[in-house]
Structure 1
Amino acid sequence: MKTVRIIGVPEHFNLPWHMAIEEGAFEERGIDLQWTDIPEGTGRMCQMLADEETDLAIILTEGLIKSISEGNKSKIIQEYIASPLLWGIHVAADSHFKTISELANAKAAISRFGSGSHLMAYVNAQNEGWNTENLQFEIINNLEGAKKGLANGDADYFMWEHFTTKPIVDAGLFRRLGDCPTPWPCFVIAATTNFIEKNDSVLKHILEVINDYTTEFKQIPSIDRTLSNRYEQQLEDIKKWLSITKWSQNQINLNTYEKVIDTLLELNLINERLPHHKALH
């Protein structure tokens, strides 16, 4: 049995992995796939890949590409979610901010630098026509930290996946001012170059299993109810999320990759153009 370490956020996107693990699909191929939830998100996962504390990660496209450009010895082995991620823009329920435009000089809560919440604050600022040099940040680590940070006034707004934060909005802790979708497919499967070089056949088996699961995922009877119960989401929210989410079984295409690179360069988040062969397996 080959032990493989994999990490990802504790969100509904990753249910196909958990189902495959729980149903023994990887064990049938001689693989002990050990999953660890990382609530801090992409910034933390990039660090874990760089430090080889994991072999694989389900990670945000833009965060990983930025990290690889900074020397992280990892590669994208496949696109995972082909649709954009819908980032909700949240303030504390009692905040005086009423519109996104009012946040131009406000402080953003982020899980850590290099995370999706950090990079998407730049994308949102660009969309709004703000000067990105004026952006201010407060590190809050995770969703629990964001609740405290906004309530205490340590930060003014927080960007996180729309449906994951919806229960917090429904509970009256956050107020959502709007959404900012990623301009590209949001999640990829990443592996360290060390793992790729030594485990080619293992990697093929892992991709075959997860691609079988994601191909059929939406057709599973009552999958919406399963997701709703497991992730404590309203059924109507899950149905909406399922309708806009598309899983991928292919490598990320070069046009998408170049769009991410162009945006990161334009926002001064990377220093030079990273050739695709350094980032894509």
Structure 2
Amino acid sequence: MKTIKIAGVPEHFNLPWQMCIENGEFEEVGINLQWTDVPEGTGKMCQMLRNNETDIAVILTEGIVKDIIAGNSSKIVQVYVQSPLIWGIHVAANSNYKKLDDLNGTKAAISRYGSGSHLMSFVNAQNQGWNTNNLQFEIVNTIEGAVDALTTHKADYFMWERFMTKPLVDNGTFRKIADCPTPWPCFVIAVRNEILEKEPHIIEHILEIINTTTEEFKYIPSIDRTLASKFNQKIEDIREWLSLTQWSQKQIDKKTIEKVQQQLFSLNIIEKIAPFEAIAK
């Protein structure tokens, strides 16, 4: 039995992995796939890949592209979710900010530097024509940290996946004032180069298993009810999320890698454009 460590956010996107593990599908081909939930998100997972604390990460595209260019010895082996991530832009329910432009020059809560909440605040600012040099940040680590930061006015707004944050909107903790979809596929599967070189067939098996599940995932009986119960969501929200979410079984293409890099470069988030082969396998 070969042990492989994998990390991802504890969100609805990753239920297919949990199901495959619980059903023993990886064990059947001699793989002990050990999943770690990482509520801190992409910045933390980049660190885990660098420190050999995980072999695989199901990670935000823009975050891992940035970190590979910065020296993370990993590669993207596949797109996991092809559809954009819809980032909700949230303020405290009692905040005086009513519309998106009110947030120009205010402080964003982010899980950590290099995370999606950090990078997408630049993308949002650029979309709005704000001066990205004026962005300010408060590191909050998790969504619970963001609740504390917004309600105690340590930060003014927080960008996080819209559907996972909606229970906090429904219960009156947050108010959503806008959406900001990623301009590229949201999640990819990244693997440390050492594992890719030593265990290429193991990685192939893992991808075959997860791809079979994601192809059929939406058609699993009562999957909407399972997701709603597991992630504290309203059934109508889960149905909308399922209708918008498209899993992928294909490698990322050169055009997408180029698009991500060009946007990050224009925002001074990366210092150079790397060749496709340096980022994806």
Matched residue of 1:264: which SS?
helix
Q: 2:197 aligns to what?
A: 197
Q: Tell me whether 1:165 sits opposite 2:165 in the alignment.
A: yes
Q: Tell me whether 1:148 sits opposite 2:152 in the alignment.
A: no
Q: Match for 2:70: what amino acid?
A: E
**What is the deviation of 1:143?**
0.4
Alpha-carbon displacement from aligned partner over 1:136-158 (angstroms, at most 9, x marks no partner) = 00000010000000011000000
Say what the alpha-carbon RMSD is for the aligned residues.
Answer: 0.4
Q: Gaps (5+ residues) in structure 2?
A: none
Q: Match for 2:78: what amino acid?
A: Q
State how far apart, in whole Å, the 2-side matches of 1:95 and 1:52 are. 41
State how far apart, in whole Å, the 1-side matches of 2:148 and 2:279 are. 36
Q: Tell me whether 1:267 sits opposite 2:271 in the alignment.
A: no
Matched residue of 1:94: which SS?
coil
Q: 1:48 aligns to what?
A: 48
Q: Match for 1:47: what amino acid?
A: Q
State how far apart, in whole Å, the 1-side matches of 2:255 and 2:221 are. 35
Q: Match for 1:265: what amino acid?
A: F
**What is the deviation of 1:253?**
1.1
Q: Match for 1:162: what amino acid?
A: R
Matched residue of 1:175: which SS?
strand
Equivalent residues in 2 for 1:231-270, closer than 5 Å: 231-270=231-270
Q: 1:102 aligns to what?
A: 102
**What is the deviation of 1:99?**
0.4
Q: 1:115 aligns to what?
A: 115
Q: 1:57 aligns to what?
A: 57
**What is the deviation of 1:120?**
0.2
Alpha-carbon displacement from aligned partner over 1:87-126 (angstroms, at most 9, x marks no partner) = 0000001100000111010000000000000000000001
State how far apart, in whole Å, the 2-side matches of 1:261 and 1:276 are. 10
Q: 2:11 aligns to what?
A: 11
**What is the deviation of 1:45?**
0.3
Q: 2:210 aligns to what?
A: 210
Matched residue of 2:248: which SS?
coil
Q: Match for 1:53: what amino acid?
A: E
Equivalent residues in 2 for 1:25-104, closer than 5 Å: 25-104=25-104
Q: Match for 1:189: what amino acid?
A: I
State how far apart, in whole Å, the 2-side matches of 1:17 and 1:177 are. 32
Matched residue of 1:113: which SS?
coil
State how far apart, in whole Å, the 2-side matches of 1:28 and 1:274 are. 38
Equivalent residues in 2 for 1:131-146, closer than 5 Å: 131-146=131-146
Matched residue of 2:39: which SS?
coil
State how far apart, in whole Å, the 2-side matches of 1:278 and 1:152 are. 43
Give me the identity figure in percent: 61
**What is the deviation of 1:170?**
0.4
**What is the deviation of 1:29?**
0.7
State how far apart, in whole Å, the 2-side matches of 1:194 and 1:200 are. 10
**What is the deviation of 1:254?**
1.0
**What is the deviation of 1:73?**
0.3
- TM-score, length-scaled by structure 2: 1.00
Alpha-carbon displacement from aligned partner over 1:47-68 (angstroms, at most 9, x marks no partner) = 0001111000000000000000
**What is the deviation of 1:274?**
1.2
Q: Match for 1:166: what amino acid?
A: K
Matched residue of 1:20: which SS?
helix
**What is the deviation of 1:133?**
0.3
Alpha-carbon displacement from aligned partner over 1:200-237 (angstroms, at most 9, x marks no partner) = 11000000000000000011111101100111100000
Number of aligned residue pairs: 281
Q: Match for 1:187: what amino acid?
A: F
**What is the deviation of 1:184?**
0.2
**What is the deviation of 1:42?**
0.2
**What is the deviation of 1:280?**
0.2
State how far apart, in whole Å, the 2-side matches of 1:71 and 1:226 are. 39
Matched residue of 2:126: which SS?
helix
